[in-house]
Amino acid sequence: MTPLEELARLLRKYGHGEHAVAMASLAAREEARVEGERFWADLAAPDVWGAEGSIAAVTLGGVTAPATPELERDRAAYRRSLFLVAEELRLRCFESADSERWRVRLKGELAPARRL
């Protein structure tokens, strides 16, 4: 499963329907590999990486959801997948200011987990 597919799956699982559809569309476009620059530009867009209302800004289950081991695992997988997508954008030179902010933030959040 690609990071984009994982993001779509988790968004769908926790009821973030509109974002799940958008991410599933991006995952399908990535798999088709026919759009090139347009795909990467759309993946770097504010709809994905903006500060508010974006896919990156989603808190799976909502901020008031009671913490469970499954939810915490899924949230960690979500952040890890977002980080991988942001890294890929950077490696392909399609990063945006928003995706870079999220990449740096996610790198910091994931760093403690990597040390274990």
Neighbour count for residue 11 (Cβ, 10 Å) = 22
- Output the CA angle 98-21-83, nearest 5 degrees: 35
Domain boundaries, the chain: 3-115
Predicted pLDDT at 113:
59
Q: In this model, does residue 77 exceed pLDDT 90? A: yes
Calpha distance 30→45 (Å, rounded): 15
Percentage of the residues of the chain whose pLDDT score is greater than 70: 96
Q: Which amino acid is at 15?
A: G
**Predicted TM-score (pTM) of this structure:** 0.91
Return the closest-CA partner of residue 55 out of 93, 108, 94, 10: 10
Query: For the residues 37-50, what does the mean pLDDT come to?
Result: 94
